[in-house]
């Protein structure tokens, strides 16, 4: 083999190496392009889902507003009609109108909280709290309603220090207790306590989290509704169906509040009753 053959062979090797490098680079570029396209499709799908959720929520809010607005309008039309009404009947119409305005106020407040969580979570201030005190504050506010329903509220939490948002943590306990008072039935015990998450569904089970168990020994819900229990405006056909009152957003706010504190939550039926397992990170960072 003479020098010309060696030079030709070396040239072919150089060309082969350059070709292989070019192929690898093209493959990486294709992979990057595919990844970019995948991320773009996911972003578009997420944007589409968000649009659909907002449209559904707007539609549901409009639907939920119809009943109280129609009731208030009907009562006021009667009161303003000039027809003779005795004092008891007049007072009844005024009281019913007032109750419907309270329902409207609760709905507006709950919608505002969800929108704020989804779009401006950084506006929720953080502070150092004792979770036992927050739970007791919620139970104390609901004590009269609970007693009227024959329900006992039991706060079995020890002192639990964490850094979080007071309003959202308060709403977790208040909304869960309010849900039990409204739908679990009479003569029920409602309990909140800590537990060890050995066999839970949670991804994070380390010492940075608090693990809580909230349960009642009431009616429970049909199993097919458990997966949708935290959906907005969900209506359950049996047992815990929402009658007059309630906004249909209480448990959705609970889930949002838990997620805000980097936790997880799920619900299960028990024998008897309904139970919620949830976790909260002890030092939730500020949202920036």
Closest CA to 75 of 60, 57, 95, 50: 95
DSSP state string for the chain: --HHHHHHHHHHHHHHHHHHHHHHHHHHHHHHHHHHHHHHHHHHHHHHHHHHHHHHHHHHHHHHHHHHHHHHHHHHHHHHS-----HHHHHHHHHHHHHHHHHHHHHHHHHHHHHHHHH-GGGS--EEEEHHHHHHHHHHHHHHHHHHTT-EEEE-----EEEE-HHHHHHHHHHHHHHHHHHS-SS-EEEEEE---TT-S-S--STTEEEEEEEESS----GGGGGGTTSTT---SSSS---SS--S-HHHHHHHHHHHTT--EEEEE-SSSEEEEEEEETBPPPP-
Is the pLDDT at 238 greater than 80, yes or no?
Answer: no
Residue 12: its pLDDT value, please? 83
Model confidence at 242, in pLDDT bands (50, 70, 90)?
Answer: very low
Domain 1-119 and domain 126-281 have a common topology: no
Q: What is the CATH number of domain 1-119?
A: 1.10.287.130
Tens digits of per-residue pLDDT, 118-176? 888 888 999 999 999 999 999 999 999 999 999 999 999 999 999 999 999 999 999 99
Global pTM reads 0.73
Residue 166: its pLDDT value, please? 96
For range 184-198, the mean pLDDT:
89
Residue 27: its pLDDT value, please? 87
Model confidence at 239, in pLDDT bands (50, 70, 90)?
Answer: very low
Does the structural domain 126-281 have CATH classification 3.30.470.20? no
For range 228-242, the mean pLDDT:
64
Give the integer Cα–Cα distance in Å for 111 and 118.
Answer: 11
Identify which has the larger pLDDT, 191 or 208: 191
Residue 250: its pLDDT value, please? 87
Mean pLDDT of all residues in the chain?
Answer: 85
Is the pLDDT at 14 greater than 70, yes or no?
Answer: yes
Q: Which sequence spans correspond to the domains of the chain?
A: 1-119, 126-281
């Amino acid at each position: 083999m003479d020098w010309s053959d060696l030079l030709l062979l070396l040239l072919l090797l150089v060309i082969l190496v350059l070709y292989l490098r070019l192929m690898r680079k093209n493959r990486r570029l294709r992979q990057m392009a595919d990844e970019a396209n995948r991320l773009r499709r996911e972003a578009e799908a997420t944007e589409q889902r968000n649009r659909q959720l907002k449209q559904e929520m707007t539609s549901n809010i409009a639907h939920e507003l119809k009943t109280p607005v129609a009731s208030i309008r009907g009562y006021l039309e009667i009161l303003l009609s000039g027809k003779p009404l005795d004092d008891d009947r007049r007072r009844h119409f005024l009281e019913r109108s007032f109750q419907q305005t309270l329902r409207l106020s609760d709905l507006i407040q709950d919608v505002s909280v969800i929108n704020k969580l989804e779009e401006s979570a950084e506006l929720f201030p953080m502070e150092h709290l004792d979770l036992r005190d927050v739970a007791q504050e919620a139970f104390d506010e609901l004590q009269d309603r609970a007693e009227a329903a024959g329900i006992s509220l039991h706060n079995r939490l020890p002192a639990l220090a964490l850094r979080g948002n007071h309003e959202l943590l308060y709403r977790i306990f208040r909304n869960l207790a309010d849900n039990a008072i409204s739908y679990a039935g009479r003569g029920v015990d409602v309990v909140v306590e800590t537990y060890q998450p050995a066999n839970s569904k949670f991804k994070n089970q380390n010492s940075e989290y608090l693990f809580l168990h909230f349960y009642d020994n009431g009616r429970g819900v049909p199993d097919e509704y458990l997966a949708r229990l935290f959906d907005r405006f969900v209506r359950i056909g049996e047992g815990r169906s929402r009658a007059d009152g309630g906004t249909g957003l209480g448990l959705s706010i609970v889930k949002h509040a838990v997620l805000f504190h980097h936790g997880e939550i799920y619900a299960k039926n028990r024998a008897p009753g309904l139970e919620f397992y949830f976790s909260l990170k002890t030092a939730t960072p500020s949202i920036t």
